[in-house]
Amino acid sequence: MDAIQDKVNKAIIYSEPGTSATEVIELPLEAPGPGQVLVRMHVLRIPPFQHPKEMLYSGVCHTDYSICTNAWKVPVMVAKGQIGGHEGIGEVVVCGPGVSHPTIGSKVGVKYIASACLSCRYCLLGMESNCVAAKLSGSFHPGTFQQYCVAAANYVTVLPEGVPDDELAGLAPIMCAGITVYTGLKHGNLRPGDWVAVSGAGGGLGHLAIQYAKALGCRVVALDVAEKNLLCTDAGADEFVDVFGFTQDTDLCRHVRETTGGGPRAALVCSSSNTAYSQAIQYLDTTGTLVCLGIPEGQQVPIQGASVALLVSRQLRIIGSKVGNRLDANECVYMAARGAVKCHYQLRKMNELTQVFNDMEEGKILGRVVIDLR
C-alpha cells in the first residue's frame, strides 16, 4: 500500500436511493484482503516520457440508473451511500495476501458480477451470474464509480496484452454491455448470414450488439427511435426501423418480417420497453429465439402476445440472459481489444452522474456514457 498511501479515493454515491440524486465524496483507501486486488481505474502513461497521467473510467449502464432510482420497484432498495457502477477498466496497484495473479500493473476489467464462489452448481455449469454467493458491483457491494476499487483477484477480467492506452476507456462498457450482448447472441443459436433483430439498438447494449452480430457474420435489423438511426447504421446495421414510424405494432412487425425475408432468427431486446418485447415475439421467424436482456421498469408484466399456442405452433424459444461468465468476458473483450467492436461513448464528469441518469431516462444518450473519474 506504500505507493498509494497518501491518496484519497473519490467516489460517486447514491445520496437518495429512489431518486437520481448522486454525490461525489472522498473516502479513505481500503487495503485489499486475502484473494483481492486493489484496482486503480486506469492510468494512462503518455509517451515518450512515460509520465503517469491519471485517466480513470467507468461506463454508466441503464441498470445503474434502475438501481439508483429503484425503477424496478424492488422491495429492498440499495442504501444511501451505495457506490454504483459495474463497467470498470483499471490497473492492479496492490495485491492482497496470497494473490499471485493478476500481478501489479496488469490491466483488468471489473464486471457486474464482482465475485462468484466458482463451486456451486450454477458456477459449475458456467452460470456464474446465478452463483448463490455472487456479489454485484454497484448493488449492495461497492461498484466502479470510484477511483480505487477492491476486486476479487479470481474474478477480474485480465485484458489482452497490447491494447493501446487511449483505447482502454472504450473497453469499460464491454465489461457489462459487451458481455451481455455477446452472451445473448450465443443464446440465439445463430449462423453466419442469419438475420438478428436488435431492439434498443442505439443504446449502450444495442450498438455493441449490432457490432458483435456483424462480427459473427450475421445481418442486423436495428430498431430504435429515429434519432439513433445514424449511430446504428455506423455500427453496421443493415436495416434500421424507427419504432415510432408506424401507426400500429402489426405494421412494424410486418415490416420487420418483410425486410428480413420472413423474420429474424433471433431478437435481442436491449431496451426496458414492454412494447419492444411484445413486438419481438410477433416478428420473430418461426423456430426463432427471443433473447430477453432489457428489464422493463415499474410493475413487471408478462410479454404480451406470447401465448402458449403461438410458442408451440411456431416453435419459438424465449430465454432470459444475465451478463455472462468469465469465458464470455474473455472472448468478447478479446474481440473488442482487436478492434472488431468499438464502443461509441462520450466522457462526462463525476458530478454529472445525476444529469446522465436523467438524460438516460429521457432516452437522449447515443451509445454509452463513460464517467471520467479524475
Contact residues for ligand 8ID (CB under 6 A)?
A: 61-63, 66, 176-177, 180, 199-200, 202-206, 223-225, 228, 243, 270-273, 275-276, 293-295, 321-323, 360, 363, 365
> By the 8 A CB rule, do 142 and 25 touch?
no
- Nearest CB to Zn ion, comparing residues 112 and 283: 112
Cβ neighbours of 136 (radius 10 Å): 19
- Nearest CB to ligand 8ID, comparing residues 41 and 360: 360
- The contact set with Zn ion (CB under 5 A) reads 61, 63, 176
- Nearest CB to Zn ion, comparing residues 61 and 181: 61
> By the 8 A CB rule, do 131 and 113 touch?
yes
Instruction: Identify the bridge partners of residue 150 per DSSP, sorted by sequence position.
Output: 38
- Nearest CB to ligand 8ID, comparing residues 191 and 364: 364
- Nearest CB to ligand 8ID, comparing residues 36 and 325: 325
Minimum separation from the CB atom of position 324 to ligand 8ID (A): 8
Minimum separation from the CB atom of position 16 to Zn ion (A): 21
Sheet strands side by side (includes 82-83): 22-27, 9-14, 82-83
Minimum separation from the CB atom of position 349 to ligand 8ID (A): 19
- Nearest CB to Zn ion, comparing residues 36 and 63: 63
- Name the binder of 336 from ligand 8ID, Zn ion, none, CB < 5-8 A by kind: none
Minimum separation from the CB atom of position 187 to Zn ion (A): 17
- The answer, yes or no, to whether the previous bond of 34 is cis (omega within 30 of 0) is no
Residue nearest to Zn ion (CB): 61
- Nearest CB to Zn ion, comparing residues 176 and 369: 176
- Name the binder of 137 from Zn ion, ligand 8ID, none, CB < 5-8 A by kind: none
- Cα–Cα distance measured from residue 22 to residue 352, given in angstroms and rounded to the nearest whole number: 9
Minimum separation from the CB atom of position 305 to Zn ion (A): 27
- Cα–Cα distance measured from residue 115 to residue 118, given in angstroms and rounded to the nearest whole number: 9
3-state secondary structure of 209: helix
Give the H/E segment covering residue 333: helix 326-337
Residue nearest to ligand 8ID (CB): 203
Angle between helix 326-337 and helix 177-187 axes, rounded to 10 deg: 110
Minimum separation from the CB atom of position 176 to Zn ion (A): 3
Minimum separation from the CB atom of position 234 to Zn ion (A): 22
- Cα–Cα distance measured from residue 290 to residue 228, given in angstroms and rounded to the nearest whole number: 22
3-state secondary structure of 357: helix
Contacts of 281 (CB under 8 A, 6+ apart): 290, 303, 305, 306, 310, 316, 318
